[in-house]
Structure 1
């Protein structure tokens, strides 16, 4: 057995984000009507905005949004297949670029070097997130696997709820546990029971309801989410949280990207602030876990060899799946 890297020592950093990874598009553009020869980032190729652009181009129905497309997707529909083919090739190119390791921003970065090494040893990719809902996610995984025969590609059965499942099954509480996934456009919440094997979902919040004048969510926005959630519960519960923001020892990196970066300046350590102050002040229990959202999704799966979770939504997230 080859020497495998350890996912436990892997720190996901902003520089290791697939959102910013530059992908060569010269070959892709020959089969993709929306691409030119210029290089694009992972987010430009395989985010919700990119999928919406493909839907609009191939179907020419301004009323058809992503949710309707995913609900109505059929592999028997020629236009749906055209969209699937383009999106599959794009995501396969992002994965191939990540594994090749030639276009990461700085190889001098120790954390980034470890991430590159992990990608190169990755045998399995799991895709999750809102864009993998239903049959589209299953066919997307199958198409990518055909394009990249060196890896196994799976679609999470929980799609956009995968981070909640990862949090719940990692904490494995005998009593009820509140799980919250702070995403880029939506905030998903649920009460987990039976050691994380059962979720009772609460209504999803739109992040727009909690942003400040600059479109960010800082301390006050998080507190309001926690207060509103507490009002829906009959008693205080411990809380496990995932966040669409890369974390360094439980605190956001000082990186001006995404809607949650303001949290870096709002406290000295986010984990400590949540546990000691923010959660108790909102009438909730202690903090059981805090994770980057894609890393939380990865916690729902375990493999014998290195595997990577990719979450498809507003952006393109990634995190390691634990080794069994």
Structure 2
């Protein structure tokens, strides 16, 4: 695959049509597709909301009181259930993992096979996009749904789907630190002159925070801070652009407040943050500009939103601040930049895509920072 042009990249940046959340599983000739998947889009069958709904529906057999457990923690409980001594709990959890794994298997099978019926449903892709996916060999999984036993079960059931379809498999690697991959990738963008820095991963559900520590040029470790809830990124339809812009202003202010709060938190412990803050964010950026929903509404902020946020933070903390926004799929891929011929898929509130590429300015990783 190394000699194949990647149609999803333009000047090493993601194109607008990269997402596989909109990929439709119309049919796969000679394969008996599970009824709950046929005709669905990627985001409708593989995401944390889908998994959470599965868990809620089987909560009684899993012996979970879902009214007492925050939704974002339910996948953690499912991992525990996969090892439960109670046979009913363990088998129920296994069935949920099987359903989710097969869902993902069908998504990957559509990409690998490139059947005409599915190509016709993806009008923004032409033949070269399908050719690329058919020739991909290595896929790296990361994100909240790949933690623990669940990630391994997903890999197992994907292989079963490909066996049933008699189709060559993708070689799948699961990140050892899936919840930190985007933060690690973002941390590699901090300039060489700094020995430590604040780094963030602004997701659709949670905001992960950390302090990146460097030894010489190399990223040595991430000291993880507690996660915070994401706000103002829910999927909704606005009556007009003015209403959406008001929501964008709230989102911008919340991002500023989270960074300021984190700055003050680490300062109170004797740590002096450097002037560059790297933020992995769950939205595609084209030429540094946001688009679409969720965090994409930041495109409505006047001027350059990165500069607007940086200036406000500079005023609040009394230091000159530079803010680097990096698409979360790209940040995740940058964590694995040295792995050739691979595609990164991140699984959380939606499916993210990134392509590991060697980049001159990325900080190298210490040998003991296992990914």
Partner residue in 2 for 1:295 = 330
Q: How far off is 1:161 after superposition?
A: 1.5
Selected match of 1:179 from 199, 202, 206: 199
Q: How far off is 1:169 after superposition?
A: 3.3
Q: Structure 2 unaligned runs (5+)?
A: 67-73, 163-167, 235-242, 360-371
With over 3 angstroms needed to count, the CA separation of the structure-2 counterparts of 1:322 and 1:278, relative to structure 1, is farther
Partner residue in 2 for 1:252 = 290
Deviations 1:18-39 (A, max 9, x none): 2222222688996747x164x1
Paired with 1:9 and 1:239, the residues of 2 have a C-alpha distance of 24
Partner residue in 2 for 1:224 = 257
Deviations 1:86-143 (A, max 9, x none): 11111121123234272433237xxxx7755543432111111111111211232343
Contact persistence 1:169–1:197 (CA under 8 A): no
Contact persistence 1:48–1:314 (CA under 8 A): yes
Paired with 2:251 and 2:128, the residues of 1 have a C-alpha distance of 30
With over 3 angstroms needed to count, the CA separation of the structure-2 counterparts of 1:3 and 1:139, relative to structure 1, is same
Selected match of 2:81 from 52, 59, 72: 72
Contact persistence 2:101–2:156 (CA under 8 A): no
The number of equivalent residue pairs is: 314
Paired with 2:156 and 2:338, the residues of 1 have a C-alpha distance of 19
Q: How far off is 1:312 after superposition?
A: 1.0
Partner residue in 2 for 1:107 = 125
3-state DSSP of counterpart to 2:169 = coil
Q: How does 1:18-97 map to 2 (within 5 A)?
A: 18-24=20-26, 32=34, 35=36, 37=38, 39-58=39-58, 60=60, 61=62, 63-64=65-66, 65-74=74-83, 77-97=90-110
3-state DSSP of counterpart to 1:229 = helix
Q: Based on CA coordinates, which of the two structures has the bigger radius of gyration?
A: 2
TM-score scaled by length of structure 1: 0.83
- Please report the RMSD computed on the Cα atoms of aligned residues, expressed in angstroms: 3.3
Partner residue in 2 for 1:137 = 151
Paired with 2:83 and 2:350, the residues of 1 have a C-alpha distance of 24
With over 3 angstroms needed to count, the CA separation of the structure-2 counterparts of 1:115 and 1:280, relative to structure 1, is farther
Paired with 1:207 and 1:147, the residues of 2 have a C-alpha distance of 34
With over 3 angstroms needed to count, the CA separation of the structure-2 counterparts of 1:248 and 1:53, relative to structure 1, is same
Partner residue in 2 for 1:239 = 277
With over 3 angstroms needed to count, the CA separation of the structure-2 counterparts of 1:215 and 1:264, relative to structure 1, is closer
Partner residue in 1 for 2:350 = 315
Q: Structure 1 unaligned runs (5+)?
A: none
Paired with 1:4 and 1:303, the residues of 2 have a C-alpha distance of 17
Partner residue in 2 for 1:196 = 219
Deviates more, 1:202-211 or 1:90-99: 202-211
TM-score scaled by length of structure 2: 0.73
Contact persistence 2:345–2:352 (CA under 8 A): yes
